[in-house]
Amino acid sequence: MERNLLIILFTTLFFSFFNLGKDPIQSFDEARHCVTAIEMMNNGDWFNYYYAGAIDNWNAKPPLGIWSIVLSMKIFGLNAFALRFPSAIATLFIFLFTYQLIRLYENEKFALIVCLIMLSVKGIIGIHVGRTGDFDAMLLAFLMMGIYYFVKYLLEKKNRNLFVSAIAFGISFWVKGPAMVVLFPGLLLFLLVNKELRNLLYQKIIWIAILVLISFPILYLGLMHFQGNQFEEIKYSGSNSVETMFLYDVVERFTNKEFEGNDANSNWDFFPVFLDTKFNLWNYIFYLAITLLLFKNFIAKKFRPNSLKQSPLFLLSICIWFSLGLILTLLNGQRSWYLAPTIPFLAITTYYGIRNLADEKKLVFYLLVGLLCFTLGRQAFQIYHITPEKPVISKMKSIQNKLVTIYLPQTNIEQDVVANAYLLKKKLVFENEVDLTIPLPKGAILLLSTYPSNHDRQLLRSNNKHLILDDFEMYYSKKDNFDN
């Protein structure tokens, strides 16, 4: 194994695992995955998702990501580290396959610097990807594996590489469903510009590989046909998880301008904003690199696009980040982590520009080293600094040895609070719209958000003690002493 690859893997280990379980669980996706995994462990239903004791009609992704969290929790216990462990491991493979992809075309130094740039930004080592219990790191790991083996097939013409690529892309469907195809437009554009698409379509082996790839979605759909539950209450498009995954997560994202309350007319700056927040400060070098490289390859050479073919990796990178950036700009319900698959290719493009400048001015190399040191140091500081927990979560943890039951009667209680309640391994009671006027039993707490609800809070206060913890009210028995 190359020395530079070892450097990258050990550095990635540090950035992925240091303080991994200490930051608070993020509300929404990460918290929901935590609850879903614990529900799955308890009820033994490996295909249907449950949240707060009921069928979850919101999370409609295939189960591989949840299965990995369940396995992790069986090994490491119910805690935030176990929740995030699969993402941290997947991050290692993202960097492994990115490094290997670059080495198909460029030297060790090039691969090392690109991976260091990737490590220094939040696009991968950050929230919702490499350091939280979400599925985007695992998705990107399989996508990079698929890209690497496909490009290796183009170079070596070995059928084994093509089938490994098809399997990797197929498994990615089991992670995030239709997101399996996010890199396909860029790949097709690359093959089209390189004039390889027609030749590939005439190869029988390509169609066999495509059949292998689509067998993974077909297998999932078949299993869900027999194992999937119908939703008792239809909250989004679709009466089951498969319909919701395609109708809500795909069709409505492209067709409904008010999808998830978003104003589609305000998102044309989605890609530049992503660069500024998830690729900072390298986004400024990226803009300079694009300007420089396009000038050299087009304007200075009188618009000869064939000159790009002399740098296939550069061409592939442009095709992928440009196509995915354009498609997601047109999408409704945009989220920054949807662009995480562009990070390796943005870093590659950026370093091509830096290398061009460094060949002409040695000062550029020293500026590169300085910027790497600053951004890697900033990244290390950010993962060293632990964000404080919400007061209600800290209070639950501080009294967990005295707790027996946690009442969560509201459907709008924030998901990170619910997830932490699950991690305490206490009896949980979910009673929507129930007025608890009787005194709570010893060892029980009841949590209500400060938002208006149908609960008679005056009666609750007259029968129990209570604490105000920012946006939450915690009620408990007069026999307990939880206020210290």
Q: How many domains does the chain have?
A: 2
Q: Is 256 exposed, middle or buried (0-12, 13-18, 19+ CB in 10 A)?
A: middle
Domain assignment of residue 279, yes or no: no
Amino acid occupying residue 306: N
Domain assignment of residue 344, yes or no: no
| Co-location of 67 and 44 in the same domain | yes
Higher pLDDT pick, 292 / 22: 22
**pLDDT for res 363:** 81
Name the DSSP letter for residue 387.
P
Domain assignment of residue 355, yes or no: no
159-172 mean pLDDT? 98
Is the pTM above the cut of 0.85? yes
| Co-location of 40 and 70 in the same domain | yes
Higher pLDDT pick, 305 / 196: 196
| Co-location of 380 and 419 in the same domain | no
Q: Domain of residue 204: give its range.
A: 3-250+362-384
Domain assignment of residue 319, yes or no: no
**pLDDT for res 60:** 87
Domain assignment of residue 171, yes or no: yes
360-387 mean pLDDT? 89
Q: Please state, for a pLDDT cut of 70, what percent of the chain lies above it.
A: 92
Q: What is the mean pLDDT of the chain?
A: 89
Q: What is the pLDDT of residues 440-449, one digit of tens each?
A: 899 999 998 8
Give yes or no for residue 307 having a pLDDT over 60. no
| Co-location of 96 and 8 in the same domain | yes
Domain assignment of residue 460, yes or no: yes
**pLDDT for res 320:** 97
Domain assignment of residue 209, yes or no: yes
**pLDDT for res 300:** 55
Q: What is the pLDDT of residues 104-127, one digit of tens each?
A: 999 999 999 999 999 999 999 999
| Co-location of 373 and 396 in the same domain | no
Last residue of a domain, one of 384, 418, 435: 384
333-344 mean pLDDT? 89
User: How big, in percent rounded to 5, are the helix, strand and coil portions of the chain?
Assistant: 65, 5, 30
| Co-location of 126 and 214 in the same domain | yes
Give yes or no for residue 175 having a pLDDT over 90. yes
Query: What are the structure tokens assigned to 482, written together?
Result: 């939880």
| Co-location of 31 and 180 in the same domain | yes
| Co-location of 159 and 218 in the same domain | yes
**pLDDT for res 264:** 42
Higher pLDDT pick, 290 / 68: 68
| Co-location of 379 and 411 in the same domain | no
| Co-location of 66 and 105 in the same domain | yes
**pLDDT for res 110:** 95
**pLDDT for res 437:** 58
**pLDDT for res 359:** 64
Higher pLDDT pick, 61 / 259: 61
Give yes or no for residue 21 having a pLDDT over 90. yes
Domain assignment of residue 353, yes or no: no
pLDDT confidence tier of residue 421, bands split at 50, 70 and 90: very high
| Co-location of 129 and 160 in the same domain | yes
| Co-location of 126 and 213 in the same domain | yes
